[in-house]
Structure 1
């Protein structure tokens, strides 16, 4: 009998094993791709909304496979459990329901994250101990912040599909975050999205060079305007 069918989880609780993410070489490659370019390669309508970075350096890149957690707003019991399951390089993606009345993580959890060598955190909820999170070494994106601390009562779920700030995330998805935002790439699609993102960057480089040299093609937009009936 499988573990999945054998375990009778109490209502509101579920803990699944960590899901394998994309190959290490794909994870490394995405560290050099801006989130905006990845988003353009994924139709421009995918990514978090309303999160801000609480680490100080704008050029910090968060990149790694997702370990997902869904918690009751203001409660971090299952976050602590997830931190016992992560592997180095993982990204903890926490669905806290967008609630910012109580912080889900603070400076003490940050020390655990550093010891476990995770790649960072993405939280649809609040954080506290901002001065500690601003230090080098642990990227974090969150909805907001408050001094009010969390409870540790549950319930919650680990490695289940979550919605984090408008971003659908499955366990093992590749999470990439930078100063522009955070995006999730399905593990099975990483190679294709990487190729599309690189091609998009080549296209942008040509447009940028033309703009800088005053060689912008007016037809790039005029053709669209004429198609809409404008006399240009």
Structure 2
């Protein structure tokens, strides 16, 4: 009989590493623009340090205030995996701190996204492993369960499935489904090339701004010259 709500699925189907690595260095905003701006975690999920994030999702669903399943995930996740933890945004107890992060670094874990609280902020800021979280508190976690590993979860208002590609920078996190990744990568590269051309035009004071009036005309905006 399946113990729903207290289960561990150790194996994750992941996109090819070469496909994941293709997103390296592409701004999250450029990727999100090619997803109709609908696939970013909300602004509550903020970076703790300056290390960019990229890798496949290894998901954890925990009871608020508890990190038993996250502790197990540290031993199951593979090098490069991004551990994504759903504790429903609860900030009462931190579910991760310095010691767990040090162990994750030793194992080659690719980073963390915590929809909840962390602690030991001073130490985590100095580490070269990407960490995103909602908040900080010194109050530590319980280790009683229940919870699940590698099931669909909610993080930052977005559904995350095991194996989804996660890209993060100082702006935030975008979530990419594996089946969309190849086409999205090409579109995102094209957007970056387009923006490079715009930056060059700006530097030369030659940015074409006619599109603004075209949009206003299309939307029937009224220009009132006399008041």
Place the TM-score, normalised by the shorter chain, in its bin.
Answer: over 0.9
Which residue number in structure 1 is paired with residue 7 of structure 2? Answer: 14
After TM superposition, what 4+ stretches of structure 1 lie above 4 angstroms from structure 2?
none
How far off its partner does 1:231 sit? 5.0
Q: Does 1:219 align with 2:213?
A: no
How far off its partner does 1:12 sit? 2.1
**Which of 132, 137, 140 is equivalent to 1:141?**
132
SS at structure 1 position matched to 2:186: helix
Which residue number in structure 1 is paired with residue 33 of structure 2? Answer: 40
Query: 202-211 or 164-173: which moved more?
Result: 202-211
SS at structure 1 position matched to 2:92: coil
Query: 209-218 or 103-112: which moved more?
Result: 209-218
Q: How far, CA to CA, are the matches of 2:198 and 2:128 in structure 1?
A: 35
Q: How far, CA to CA, are the matches of 1:175 and 1:224 in structure 2?
A: 34
Q: How far, CA to CA, are the matches of 2:175 and 2:203 in structure 1?
A: 32
Q: How far, CA to CA, are the matches of 1:119 and 1:209 in structure 2?
A: 34
Q: Which runs of 5+ in 2 are unaligned?
A: none
> What is the TM-score of this pair, normalised by structure 2?
0.93
**Which of 125, 145, 156 is equivalent to 1:154?**
145
Q: How far, CA to CA, are the matches of 1:216 and 1:231 in structure 2?
A: 24
Which residue number in structure 1 is paired with residue 122 of structure 2? Answer: 131
Q: How far, CA to CA, are the matches of 2:114 and 2:211 in structure 1?
A: 39
Which residue number in structure 2 is paired with residue 51 of structure 1? Answer: 45
CA offsets per residue over residues 43-83 of structure 1, 9 Å max, x none? 1122111111112x3xx211111000010011000001111
Q: Does 1:113 align with 2:123?
A: no
SS at structure 2 position matched to 1:101: coil
CA offsets per residue over residues 130-163 of structure 1, 9 Å max, x none? 1221123211000000000000000101100111
Which residue number in structure 1 is paired with residue 190 of structure 2? Answer: 199
How far off its partner does 1:11 sit? 4.4
Q: How far, CA to CA, are the matches of 1:82 and 1:136 in structure 2?
A: 20
CA RMSD of aligned residues (A): 1.3
Instruction: Report the number of matched residues.
Output: 222
C-alpha distance 227-152 of structure 1, shift in aligned 2 (>3 A): same
